[in-house]
Amino acid sequence: MHNIENKIEFKESFTLVVGNMIGAGIFMLPISLSAFGSISILGWIISGIISICLASVFKKLSREYPDESGPFTYTKKYFGEFTAFLVVWGYWISILLLNASLAIAITSYSTVFLPILKNQYYNIFFSSFIIIIISTISLSGIKGIGRFQFYTALIKLIPLILIIFLGFLFMNVEYFYPINISNETDFRAITITTTLTFFAFLGLESATVPDNKVQNAKENVSKSTIYGVIFTFFVYLLSSIALFGLLSPEQIQHSNAPYADAGGIILGDYAKYIVAIFAIISALGCLNGWTLLQIELTKNLSKNNLFPKIFLKENANSIPSSGLVISNTIVILLIVINYSKDLSNIFTELILTSTFCALILYFIIAFGEILKIFENKKNLKSNFISIPLFLFLIWIFVGIGFNSILLGLALFSLSIPIYFYQKYYARNRKS
Q: What structural domains and CATH numbers belong to the chain?
A: 4-424 (1.20.1740.10)
Least confident of 130-139, 213-222, 286-295, 387-396: 213-222
Q: What's residue 24's pLDDT?
A: 59
Contact predicate 264/190, CB 8 Å: no
Whether 390 has a pLDDT exceeding 60, the answer reads: yes
Radius of gyration of the chain (CA): 21
Mean pLDDT, the chain, as a whole number?
A: 81
Q: Tell me, rounded to whole angstroms, the distance of Cα 219 from its chain centroid.
A: 23
Q: What's residue 201's pLDDT?
A: 86
Say whether 339 sits in a helix, a strand or coil.
coil
Whether 58 has a pLDDT exceeding 60, the answer reads: yes
Contact predicate 350/100, CB 8 Å: yes
Sequence-distant (≥ 6) Cβ neighbours of residue 189 within 8 angstroms: 36, 39, 40, 180, 182
Whether 2 has a pLDDT exceeding 70, the answer reads: no
Q: What's residue 5's pLDDT?
A: 52
Share of the chain above pLDDT 70, in %: 87
What letter does residue 214 receive in the DSSP assignment?
B
pLDDT digits (tens, 9 = 90+) for 350-388: 667 878 888 888 889 888 888 877 776 555 555 678 888
Contact predicate 44/196, CB 8 Å: no
Report which of residues 352 and 181 the model is more confident about.
181
DSSP H helical ranges for 183-255: 186-199, 217-246, 249-253
Contact predicate 182/36, CB 8 Å: yes
Say whether 355 sits in a helix, a strand or coil.
helix
Share of the chain above pLDDT 90, in %: 9
Q: What's residue 233's pLDDT?
A: 92
Instruction: Name which of 361, 314, 287, 322 is nearest 107 in CA terms.
Output: 287
| pLDDT (mean) for 180-198 | 89
Contact predicate 46/252, CB 8 Å: no
Say whether 252 sits in a helix, a strand or coil.
helix
Instruction: Name which of 411, 384, 428 is nearest 87 in CA terms.
Output: 411
Report which of residues 283 and 238 the model is more confident about.
238
Whether 1 has a pLDDT exceeding 50, the answer reads: no
The answer to whether the bond into 178 is cis (omega within 30° of 0) is yes
Q: What's residue 131's pLDDT?
A: 93
Q: What's residue 427's pLDDT?
A: 59
Report residue 308's pLDDT band, with 50, 70 and 90 as the boundaries.
confident
CA distances, 52 to each of 11, 230, 251, 421 (Å): 19, 6, 31, 38
Sequence-distant (≥ 6) Cβ neighbours of residue 341 within 8 angstroms: 349
Q: Where are the beta strands (DSSP E) in 105-198?
A: none
SS3 content of the chain, % helix, strand, coil (to 5): 80, 0, 20
Within 10 A of 409 (CB to CB), how many other CB atoms are there? 13
Q: How far apart are CA 370 and CA 398, in angstroms?
A: 21
What letter does residue 340 receive in the DSSP assignment?
T
Contact predicate 113/121, CB 8 Å: no
Backbone angles phi, psi at 214, to 5 degrees: -115, 130
Q: How far apart are CA 251 and CA 247, in angstroms?
A: 6
| Residue 414 β-bridge partners | none
